[in-house]
Homo-oligomer: A and B are copies of this chain.
Amino acid sequence: MRPNKRDELVRNALDVFYRDGFHATGMDKLVAETGISKTSMYKHFRTKEDLILAVLRLRDERFRNWFCRRVEEIAEAPKDRLLAVFDALEEWFKSPEFKGCMFIKAVSEFQNPEDPIHIQSATHKRMLLEFVQGIAAQARVTDPGTLARQLMLLKEGAIVTAVMQGEAKVAADAKAAARILIAAAARC
């Protein structure tokens, strides 16, 4: 099998799942939107769940690549990079493709903690936390773990609020709160 067609399927399926949701997207809709026949899909992926897992893997790779690189581009000093997390977040919110966090939505639809989709989504969040925790460790704060977890709470809250109330001021509020938390963590 050439990897081309398979990857093309995953790329297109990502857009549809991201736009319409997982349960609301049937395989027939994917046939119509991707132009790839159903038989071919089931040759690449045994089940719909397998396809969703591949989609989430691609989303994780794309998003973490973009987000981490962007944070490191925006600022140099570790403490500035902790703030840059929220600048990158704002860019994401304001981009026309923004439709919330795919992993929060996945967990909302597959709530069973033992579901592979749930597990993979939680892993994505854990890896993002580790990225931020790494920066916090370089920033010479007393408790990098706690600070990183708190900043991630602001980030997740900002995502959910941006989806529900619109993006106005959300990223700015989160960034202002982050600045206070970072300053407090550095003062000790």
Given the interface pairs A176-B146, A181-B181, the reply to whether A126 lies near B165 with Cβ below 8 Å is yes
A153 CB-CB contact with B under 8 Å: yes
A109 CB-CB contact with B under 8 Å: yes
A169 CB-CB contact with B under 8 Å: yes
Chain B residue at minimal CB-CB distance from A126: B165
Contact residues, A154-169 vs B (CB, 8 A): 154-158, 160-161, 163-165, 169
Chain B residue at minimal CB-CB distance from A147: B177
A161 to B164 Cα, complex, angstroms: 17
A24 to B110 Cα, complex, angstroms: 9
* A14 nearest CB across to chain B (Å): 15
A133 CB-CB contact with B under 8 Å: no
Kindly list chain B residues whose C-beta atoms are within 8 Å of the C-beta of A165: 122, 125-126
A163 to B155 Cα, complex, angstroms: 15
A21 CB-CB contact with B under 8 Å: yes
A173 CB-CB contact with B under 8 Å: yes
For A157, give its contact among B156, B169, B173 (CB under 8 Å): B156
* A87 nearest CB across to chain B (Å): 16
Q: Across the interface, do B109 and A164 meet the contact criterion of CB distance under 8 Å?
A: no
Given the interface pairs A157-B154, A158-B153, the reply to whether A163 lies near B107 with Cβ below 8 Å is yes
A156 to B19 Cα, complex, angstroms: 22
Kindly list chain B residues whose C-beta atoms are within 8 Å of the C-beta of A153: 153-154, 157-158, 161, 170, 173-174, 177
10 contacts between A and B (CB under 8 A): A103-B164, A105-B108, A105-B109, A125-B161, A150-B176, A152-B157, A152-B161, A153-B174, A154-B157, A181-B181
